[in-house]
Structure 1
Amino acid sequence: MNLRGQMKFWLISLALFIGFMMVFSEVMLPFVAGMALAYLLDPVCDWLEAKSMGRLTATLTILFVFLIVLILFFLMILPVLGSQLASFLDSLPELVKKLQQLVSSNFGERLLSMSGLSGESLQASMGELITQGASWMGGLAQSLWSGGQALLSILSLFLITPVVAFYLLLDWDNMVAKIDGWLPRQHLDTLRGLASEMDRAVAGFVRGQVSVCVLLGLFYAIGLAVVGLNFGLLIGLGAGLVSFIPFVGAGLGFMVSLGVALVQFWPDWTMIIGVGIVFAIGQFLEGNVLQPRLVGKSTGLHPVILMFALFAFGYLFGFVGMLIAVPASAMIGVLARFALKQYLASPLYTGTGRSKATQEE
């Protein structure tokens, strides 16, 4: 197959994949979660196999331990989170009203002088802004719910995902060997090298970022609870979990915490500043300790590119798109760097009749 035929084949394959994802995105969540779980746990299964444990026994052991830990976590944390979430949703209208009154009464004159609006206009503008913000957050929650609900409701995530993970984890090595057998023999070494680089990029980011999100969530939750912030556990864990989107988790968590702190502690600036210190320390730990040690530069992508990928994939495929955004971007980045390397070694770049690589030989 010539170059034009190869390009046509891969473009058609890409179009079919995108079409498949767009059509079935609402039912893909349990399967994508199962694939991610199998991918994360495969190294542990390989380690147990190296300790003379059979693949089936290792798979059952890993999934059993994982489910026990998950169940214990939900039994200990979920009731508290559910109670805080219900209280937060019940008190949200009153919190927004008090926050609006507090800002108007204490910062109204300064805002009036800066904006040039009348008091009524400023209050109406603030009310409209807060209403729009609440509407946006409600729309986001509804989008995440509808995208994650799947065909048989959210319960399918907990019923189907372990089954999918079990079968994939059991046959992981066989599937990798089967796919390797489909690769064109002429470019086998190149394709294996690209696949290994993609695996390192995806594994390094996903496994590292999961650890970062968990540690940040625990830190924010404990820190906000120590400060005495209402709904601190809920806000802290939420900010940590959303940290898989660069800057969004900490920013959203800080804004919500600041609003709650202003209503709860005003005019005691000490406690309000304490909330800010918790997030400042969290950002310092994330940028200088957790990210460099646990994630590093495994994807080779700029944070702005990662943010764009998350929003673009989320817009196209919903919540499932956000789950696959970073792995897909990391793989695309590997292919882009390989294409750039080929271009820099080609006559198109060197301006000669032969490629740079051929000349060096």
Structure 2
Amino acid sequence: MPLPSGLPRPLVLGLSFPLVVLNLWVFASLYRAFEGIASTFILAGVIALILNLPVRLLQRRLGLGRSWAIGLVVGLFLALAGLIAATLLPLLVVRFLAFTQVLPEWISATAQQLDAVRGRASYLGVPIEVSEIIEGLAAGLTAQLEGLLLNIPAFITGSLGNFFSLFFLFVLTIFFLIYGGDFVRNCLTSWLPGDNGLKALAVLRRNFNSYIFNQLILSAVLMAVLTPTLWLLRAPFPILSGVSIGLMGFIPFGAILGILLFSVLFMLKSFWLGLRIFAVLIVVDQVIENVLPPRLLGKLTGLNPIVILFSVMVGATLASFYGVITAVPIAATVKSLLLDSAEPASSSA
């Protein structure tokens, strides 16, 4: 039953807030109960959104039918994925394993340096106990790396490496490419009255396309620029570091987090090396994000960076990684729809 139109706006917002919270809680509970199925659907939808861009480009530029364009794009995508899996992925795995072997040596070297500092401080009469800090740092990093190494095979064999999971992911991606637009349109038009469903569809499609396109370009450019930059800075494992930071750049603020993470790890080998890498990569990252068109994500979605960060945190809480990659365009869509619904009310007043 719709609410009376004469209710004050603060009262409507106050009544809506507990309903929104309840719906989010129900969604999070359902997602955790059916996480495997939901993650496959979300991943297939994201891949379909990415592939839909070249499909539409082939339709417009070459005049191909949608079926032919989908077949061509999917074939090229599978060939590219196979090429990456056969060349780049083994290289990254080998470099990652080598990195986990040298990291304990860096921790030991840092521990020796801290022990030397403690000895000098004790000689000067300043008591500094760093043994517990060193042991805690070593134990924490070792546990994190062991957990990561154990989770990688489980992730590959469980969610993506399983033949049936890959098959259903492929089928769902094709389904979304062919019928996804009509399916979402029918759902929105049946849920929302009047022309609101078509408006929501247009806003949702625009925000998701802008987000996917921006983050893909940003991630690719970060990998292409940061990898040779790290090599010029004589950083250890430049390919592993550059590709990892670039992949993290697909997530809002992920590139900054990746730069900070690898800089801290390189500080274990050499403090000045890590500091130099951090300073240079931060400058390069900011130049890329402010000069590269399309520019900052906030300009594409109309969201404040604080709102973007909050949306990412909420998405991570509700649906882990898949919530992170879908939270920003959903938040931008909600904002656009709320602004559109507020304009008629303000104009009539």
TM superposition score normalised by structure 1: 0.76
* Equivalent AA in structure 2 for residue 219 of structure 1: V
What SS does the corresponding residue of 2:67 show, helix, strand or coil?
helix
Matching of residue 357 in structure 1 with residue 347 in structure 2: yes
1:118 corresponds in structure 2 to 127
**Which whole-Å CA distance do the structure 2 matches of 1:237 and 1:59 have between them?**
28
What SS does the corresponding residue of 1:244 show, helix, strand or coil?
coil
2:56 corresponds in structure 1 to 46
RMSD, matched Cα: 3.7
Matching of residue 182 in structure 1 with residue 190 in structure 2: yes
**1:19 alignment partner, one of 29, 36, 48:** 29
**Which whole-Å CA distance do the structure 2 matches of 1:129 and 1:232 have between them?**
24
**2:67 alignment partner, one of 33, 56, 66:** 56
The structure, 1 or 2, with the larger RCO (C-alpha pairs under 8 Å, 6+ apart) is 1
Name structure 1 gaps, 5 residues minimum: 347-355
What SS does the corresponding residue of 2:348 show, helix, strand or coil?
helix
* Equivalent AA in structure 2 for residue 243 of structure 1: G
Tell me: CA distance 1:304–1:173, structure 2 relative to 1, closer, same or farther (3 Å): closer
1:259 corresponds in structure 2 to 265
Kindly provide the CA deviation profile for residues 297-329 of structure 1, in whole angstroms up to 9, marking residues without a partner as x: 122222232223323322332223223222332
**1:279 alignment partner, one of 278, 281, 286:** 281
**Which whole-Å CA distance do the structure 1 matches of 2:259 and 2:25 have between them?**
37
Kindly provide the CA deviation profile for residues 140-185 of structure 1, in whole angstroms up to 9, marking residues without a partner as x: 7777887x5696554456443322211211223433553465355x
**1:92 alignment partner, one of 83, 103, 110:** 103
1:172 corresponds in structure 2 to 180
**1:101 alignment partner, one of 84, 90, 112:** 112
1:321 corresponds in structure 2 to 323
Tell me: CA distance 1:274–1:17, structure 2 relative to 1, closer, same or farther (3 Å): closer
Matching of residue 82 in structure 1 with residue 93 in structure 2: yes
1:28 corresponds in structure 2 to 38
Contact 2:222-2:246 at 8 Å conserved across structures: yes
**Which whole-Å CA distance do the structure 2 matches of 1:96 and 1:285 have between them?**
33
Contact 1:202-1:298 at 8 Å conserved across structures: no
1:214 corresponds in structure 2 to 220
Contact 1:202-1:330 at 8 Å conserved across structures: no
223-232 vs 157-166, which deviates more? 157-166
1:13 is displaced (CA, Å) by 6.7
**1:194 alignment partner, one of 200, 206, 227:** 200
What SS does the corresponding residue of 2:295 show, helix, strand or coil?
helix
**Which whole-Å CA distance do the structure 2 matches of 1:358 and 1:309 have between them?**
32
131-140 vs 199-208, which deviates more? 131-140
**Which whole-Å CA distance do the structure 2 matches of 1:358 and 1:141 have between them?**
60
* Equivalent AA in structure 1 for residue 66 of structure 2: R
* Equivalent AA in structure 2 for residue 229 of structure 1: A
**Which whole-Å CA distance do the structure 2 matches of 1:331 and 1:108 have between them?**
59
* Equivalent AA in structure 1 for residue 3 of structure 2: L
Kindly provide the CA deviation profile for residues 74-118 of structure 1, in whole angstroms up to 9, marking residues without a partner as x: 3221222111011112222222222232344358868999xx973
Name structure 2 gaps, 5 residues minimum: 5-11
Contact 1:85-1:234 at 8 Å conserved across structures: yes
**Which whole-Å CA distance do the structure 1 matches of 2:261 and 2:143 have between them?**
16
**Which whole-Å CA distance do the structure 1 matches of 2:324 and 2:150 have between them?**
15
Contact 1:202-1:299 at 8 Å conserved across structures: no
Tell me: CA distance 1:235–1:104, structure 2 relative to 1, closer, same or farther (3 Å): farther
Tell me: CA distance 1:111–1:323, structure 2 relative to 1, closer, same or farther (3 Å): farther
TM superposition score normalised by structure 2: 0.78
What SS does the corresponding residue of 1:230 show, helix, strand or coil?
coil
1:353 corresponds in structure 2 to none
Contact 1:216-1:240 at 8 Å conserved across structures: yes
**Which whole-Å CA distance do the structure 1 matches of 2:261 and 2:59 have between them?**
47
2:235 corresponds in structure 1 to 229
Contact 2:41-2:172 at 8 Å conserved across structures: yes
Contact 1:34-1:161 at 8 Å conserved across structures: yes
* Equivalent AA in structure 1 for residue 34 of structure 2: F
* Equivalent AA in structure 2 for residue 327 of structure 1: P
Tell me: CA distance 1:43–1:291, structure 2 relative to 1, closer, same or farther (3 Å): closer
1:274 is displaced (CA, Å) by 4.8
